[in-house]
Amino acid sequence: MKNAVGREIPEHIAGCKYNPYRGPWACIPSRQANGGKSVDAPAAEKVLKSIDAAIEAVGLRDGMTISFHHHLRNGDYVMKLVVDAIARKGIRGLRLTASSLSAVQDAIMPHLEAGVITAIDTSGIRGEIGKFVSAGKLPHPVMIRTHGGRARAIESGELSIDVAFIGAPACDIQGNINGVDGPAACGSLGYAMVDAAYADKVVAITDHLMPHPLQRISIPQTQVDFIVKVDSIGDPKGISTGSLRISTDPKELLISQYAATVIEHSGCFRDNFSLQLGSGGASLTAAKFIKEKMKTKGITAAFGVGGITGIFAEMMEEGLVNLLFDAQSFDSTAIQSLRQNDRHLEVSASYYASPGTCGPIVNNVDAVILSATEVDIHFNVNVLTGSNGRLMGAPGGHPDTAAGSNLCIVALPLVRRNFPVMRESVHTIVTPGETVDVIVTDRGVAINPLRQDLIHNLQGSGLPIMLIEDLQRLAYEITGTPTPAPTGGDIVGLVEYRDGTIIDVIRKIG
């Protein structure tokens, strides 16, 4: 048989069947294993007139899975714009997967009530959506994943995304995207990178459409099917605050100082150590004390990782930290730093924390300071539900970095608003105690008995070291024994550990 350039191609060659050439643009390569895309004829137009047009172009239909990232945080306009448009088209029964849900997403509540969205897969869940799910009103149980676990689930095909809608702070007309330019700059696009790489179809929603090509590219044009320009993708005030502030609250200062002292005496506080600091008050404030201790000892850190704050970026500017790995930029100082400093590296959620890889960067973290909603005497941590059982938080990278790091410190006050947060048992286990090394409170510090090396190293540190059971009893003495949250309702949610197993369930309340 002759192919389209007149060459004789046998039907079978060496026992295999091959397709003869049919013309340079005649054959659309089949769907890629890697959620790849169909070939386009050269220079096919990607910029569409409206979100409605994009929904039609990608062939969205009932029952599909749509995804969003949360780098625009509480300033995000994209999810509401998209889900409103989907609802207007009468599409129903969608699974919504998001790297997290901020309070601003209460704006899509009408579409949950109307059945446009019937399943949710997310790290964080709060506000009205949290109440809706906790009340058992979502048809399918919500799936709560860690940042690393979500990347793993997407990369493994367990979480298959039909259409990713990517809020794009800067996007050129071929679909190259970055997060550092434009009026709604949010910094790193670490979570969105995974969605863009694996979704069947990708739509970029931007308010800063640029000529081709962007100089800085976080998500490549090869992954973007269509582009829609809108007036605004987000409110800069909700996307980033100014530089996050160090606390002046005496209790938080004390906790932070204890946490810094734990690191100092842990055995890992040496030249070229590595550090993760979250955006919580105690973690941020601890940076101040760690800086002082680093200067005193004359050491620098090889790298910092995580959600990056301006305080961390300033430590790099001062030469105290050599490199920053940034999966999420928490404030405008960090965003500016990512834009300008070539030692401030943008990384994907997979590089940050996925356990389904040859080793994410959290595996190389010496010390991390994390926060918690509740901790129990088995060192288990809850960062997802209130003590009343209601969904109001986010695992984020908590279980990932706890498992990966050498020294995982969880810092929290012993009592919050007269509730004991040191408990016999947390309501929801998000991070298993086996991966948590030290609990730091304003009233005492407890070391996980699995870590005899730390118990040894922290002798003579001057810290008020106690048994965790004693910390818990002290909390109950202050507040009285708490009423256990109700258990036994229908299951309304699953808490997935980063490896894909189920570590806890969320039950209906009220």
If binding is defined by CB under 8 A, does position 453 make contact with its own copies?
no
Nearest distance from residue 65's CB to its own copies, in Å?
A: 15
Cα(69)–Cα(158) distance, rounded to whole angstroms? 18
Q: Which of residues 103-142 bind its own copies (CB under 8 A)?
A: 140-141
Q: Which residues contact 420 (CB under 8 A, 6 or more apart)?
A: 414, 472, 475, 476, 478, 479, 482
Burial status of residue 6 (CB atoms within 10 A of its CB: 0-12, 13-18, 19 or more) = exposed
Binding segment for its own copies (CB under 8 A), chosen from 50-58, 183-191, 410-418, 430-438, is 430-438
Stretch 224-263: interaction string toward its own copies, x if CB under 8 A: xx--------------------------------------
Nearest distance from residue 429's CB to its own copies, in Å?
A: 5
Binding segment for its own copies (CB under 8 A), chosen from 290-298, 311-319, 457-465, 500-508, is 500-508
Please count the CA atoms within 13 angstroms of the CA of 470 that sit on its side-chain side.
9
3 state SS of 510: coil
Cα(266)–Cα(102) distance, rounded to whole angstroms? 35
According to DSSP, residue 399 is labeled H
Cα(491)–Cα(507) distance, rounded to whole angstroms? 4
Tokens of 433: 């105690």
Whether 219 and 176 have beta carbons less than 8 Å apart is answered as yes
Q: Which helix (H) or strand (E) segment is 331 a member of? A: none
Q: By CB under 8 A, name the one of 49, 248, 296, 342 that touches its own copies.
A: 342
Calculate the alpha carbon distances from 328 to 34, 303, 314, 361, 375 in Å.
24, 15, 16, 14, 25
If binding is defined by CB under 8 A, does position 10 make contact with its own copies?
yes
Nearest distance from residue 455's CB to its own copies, in Å?
A: 20
Binding segment for its own copies (CB under 8 A), chosen from 53-61, 219-227, 278-286, 462-470, is 219-227
Q: By CB under 8 A, name the one of 146, 243, 279, 354 that touches its own copies.
A: 354
- The C-alpha angle 322, 286, 303, rounded to 5 degrees, equals 15
Q: Which of residues 294-333 bind its own copies (CB under 8 A)?
A: 302-303, 322-323, 325
Q: By CB under 8 A, name the one of 110, 157, 242, 486 that touches its own copies.
A: 157
Nearest distance from residue 159's CB to its own copies, in Å?
A: 11
Binding segment for its own copies (CB under 8 A), chosen from 210-218, 253-261, 289-297, 471-479, is 210-218
Q: By CB under 8 A, name the one of 51, 239, 429, 463 that touches its own copies.
A: 429
Nearest distance from residue 201's CB to its own copies, in Å?
A: 9
Nearest distance from residue 333's CB to its own copies, in Å?
A: 21
Bridge-based pairing of strands 321-329 and 344-346 is parallel
If binding is defined by CB under 8 A, does position 212 make contact with its own copies?
yes
In sequence order, the β-bridge partners of residue 234 are 76
Q: Which of residues 15-54 bind its own copies (CB under 8 A)?
A: 18-34, 36-40, 42-44, 46
Nearest distance from residue 396's CB to its own copies, in Å?
A: 17
Cα(182)–Cα(218) distance, rounded to whole angstroms? 14
Q: Which of residues 185-204 bind its own copies (CB under 8 A)?
A: 198, 202
Q: Which of 429, 456, 76 is nearest to 266 (CA)?
A: 456
**Position 107, amino acid:** A
285 or 348: CB nearest its own copies: 348
Whether 187 and 139 have beta carbons less than 8 Å apart is answered as no
3 state SS of 287: helix
If binding is defined by CB under 8 A, does position 61 make contact with its own copies?
no
Cα(395)–Cα(132) distance, rounded to whole angstroms? 19
If binding is defined by CB under 8 A, does position 502 make contact with its own copies?
yes
Dihedral (CA of 77, 82, 84, 85) sign: positive
Q: Which of 358, 63, 37 is nearest to 198 (CA)?
A: 37
3 state SS of 470: helix
Nearest distance from residue 185's CB to its own copies, in Å?
A: 18
If binding is defined by CB under 8 A, does position 213 make contact with its own copies?
yes
Q: Which of 164, 166, 173 is nearest to 64 (CA)?
A: 164
If binding is defined by CB under 8 A, does position 396 make contact with its own copies?
no
252 or 504: CB nearest its own copies: 504
Cα(197)–Cα(221) distance, rounded to whole angstroms? 11
Nearest distance from residue 326's CB to its own copies, in Å?
A: 13
Q: By CB under 8 A, name the one of 76, 106, 121, 155 that touches its own copies.
A: 155
Q: By CB under 8 A, name the one of 90, 211, 298, 319 that touches its own copies.
A: 211
Nearest distance from residue 196's CB to its own copies, in Å?
A: 10
Q: Which of residues 457-486 bind its own copies (CB under 8 A)?
A: none
Nearest distance from residue 27's CB to its own copies, in Å?
A: 4
Binding segment for its own copies (CB under 8 A), chosen from 262-270, 285-293, 306-314, 361-369, is 361-369
